Amino acid sequence: MGSALKQARLKRSLSLEQVASRTLIQPHRIAALEAGQLAQVEDDIYLRGFVRRLAQALELEPPALLAMLPETPPLVRPSWYRDEPEVDREQTALRYVSYTAAVATLLGGLAWAAEQAAATPQITAPAPQTQVQPVAKTAMPLPSFSIAPPEV
């Protein structure tokens, strides 16, 4: 398959960069596919997409080239897939019960404190009463200004 891609590219006098600009596939990946290094492409889905785009750009039959690729295993997981860790349901349930008990205790304590604060009478001394003396309203004399014309 790789040699067929390389022969078709050279027959059309195209460089790796020209094919890369047409297909938007990096030149080092095209060179790896032409060399038969299929492991350079991470996942099978990308490999098939690259071969299809290269075949279309080089005016080849995509199904014929795709048939040359090795069979994929029945269960293919992408490279970014991570197995989920096992969850201990007993420990998770215990954790939720503990959190619930802690919140209930906190709310009970707050309710008790509010009840104690409301039941305790507040003893306060009466505020001393002072008499305010009224201020006599007296008019303040305004300053007098005299404006005279300038002397010539």
Residues of the chain with pLDDT > 70, as a percent, come to 84
Q: Which amino acid is at 60?
A: L
Q: Comparing 14-23, 61-70, 100-109, which segment has the lowest mean pLDDT? A: 61-70
Rounded to two decimals, what is the model's pTM?
0.48
The CATH code belonging to domain 2-67 is: 1.10.260.40
Looking at residue 108, its amino acid is: G
Q: What is the DSSP string of 31-56?
A: HHHHTT-GGGSSSHHHHHHHHHHHHH
Which residue pairs from 17-21 have beta carbons closer than 8 angstroms and sit at least 24 positions apart in sequence?
19/54, 19/57, 19/58
The DSSP string of 108-131 is HHHHHHHHHHHHSPPP-PPPPP-P
So where are the chain's domains? 2-67
Q: For 90-99, 103-112, 125-134, which range has the lowest pLDDT when averaged over its residues? A: 125-134
pLDDT of res. 104: 95
pLDDT single digits (tens) 120-134: 666 677 777 777 666
Q: What is the pLDDT of residues 33-83, one digit of tens each?
A: 999 888 887 778 888 899 999 999 999 998 888 888 887 665 666 677 777
**Which amino acid would we find at residue 9?**
R
pLDDT band at 109 (very low <50, low <70, confident <90, very high): very high
